[in-house]
Chain A
Amino acid sequence: MSIETLNALVSGAIWRAEQLDELGLETAPSAWMEVSKLEEEIAKITPAKEAEGRIARRGAVRAAFQANDPVRARELVERYTAEKGIPKSLRNDLRGMLKADSDELSDEFPFAAKHNKPNDVRMLANQLRECGPFGLVA
């Protein structure tokens, strides 16, 4: 797919995801996942030394968080930060996103964050939100 087509698709996908988010609809995370995958496709054909490549890499990670998929976000950060010649500023931006997510979780669940790994805390937090406190016991 050409970069022009992907840019058009990601523009539409971001617009849709933002609208669904604003309305608080349950389908918002899946719309953000579409954004993340399109950004990932743009990142595949645009090197990190180019501005659009950096925008796409940040976008893929950011949208993965918006899609409530921190595992994917973390994997993308690992992949992108391992690329040869990645600008230091981009590496810092991507790691900053992971840290912001961890900090947010630690603020919300300080005890769990102290005793568990970030991915486990995220999993417990999702379980708590979906099933309530008794869901954690089940």
Chain B
Amino acid sequence: MAIESSRRHCLLTWLSADLGTLEQHDSKRITEDGAEAIALAVPHESKAWHVVRRLQQGEHADWLLEHRSNDVRKLIAFEVGGTDRRGIAALLREKLAQVAKSIDVDHRCAGVVGFKQPQTALQSVEMPTRVH
């Protein structure tokens, strides 16, 4: 698990599912949903960020998250990616480039999950705040 520039290992556990029903599921959907679940859990666990709402495509991020500290609320645009075929480095770059376009937030961040080799990364983009 790579959180910004620090790396650590963690144990991820989940309820087992009946693989006999696997054919009922769309493999792309499973990857996306799995990536989203893990990617949202990571910033919650590591940075105490909470989900506010899902965002539409034109907002350049999948989720709007929040961080509250000393009565100050900061909004985070969070873009998620997942892959079961390749490494996560290139995907992380793509997602960072996308979320960098997001506006009206205090912070921009991307979270990607790889299933081929179990790994996840969370990285922020530093961008100037838009003047209204």
Contacts and interface: CB of A to CB of B under 8 A. Distances in A.
Interface of A: 7-8, 10-12, 14-15, 18, 35, 51-52, 54-55, 58-59, 62-63, 87-90
A30 to B, nearest CB: 16
Interface string B56-72: 11110000100000000
Interface residues of B, number: 17
B58 A62 contact: yes
B53 A10 contact: yes
Contacts of A90: 132
A62 B55 CA distance: 11
Contacts of A87: 132
A63 B132 contact: no
A11 B63 CA distance: 9
Interface string B120-132: 0000000000111
B64 A55 contact: yes
Contact of A54 (B52, B104, B131): B104
B75 interface: yes
B104 A55 contact: yes
B103 interface: yes
Interface SS, A side: helix
A51 to B, nearest CB: 4
A88 B130 CA distance: 11
A59 B56 CA distance: 7
A55 B64 CA distance: 10
B132 A55 contact: no
Given A58-B59, A88-B132, A51 B104 contact: yes
Nearest to A59: B56
B105 interface: yes
Interface-centre pick from A7, A15, A55, A63 (highest chain B CB count, 10 A): A55
B54 interface: yes
Contact of B54 (A11, A62, A63): A11
Contacts of B132: 87-90
Nearest to A10: B53
Contacts of B56: 14, 35, 58-59, 62-63
Nearest first, the 9 closest Cβ-Cβ pairs linking A and B are A87-B132, A11-B54, A7-B53, A51-B104, A14-B54, A89-B132, A11-B53, A54-B104, A62-B58
Contacts of B57: 18
B52 A7 contact: yes
Contacts of A55: 55, 59, 64, 104
A18 B47 CA distance: 29
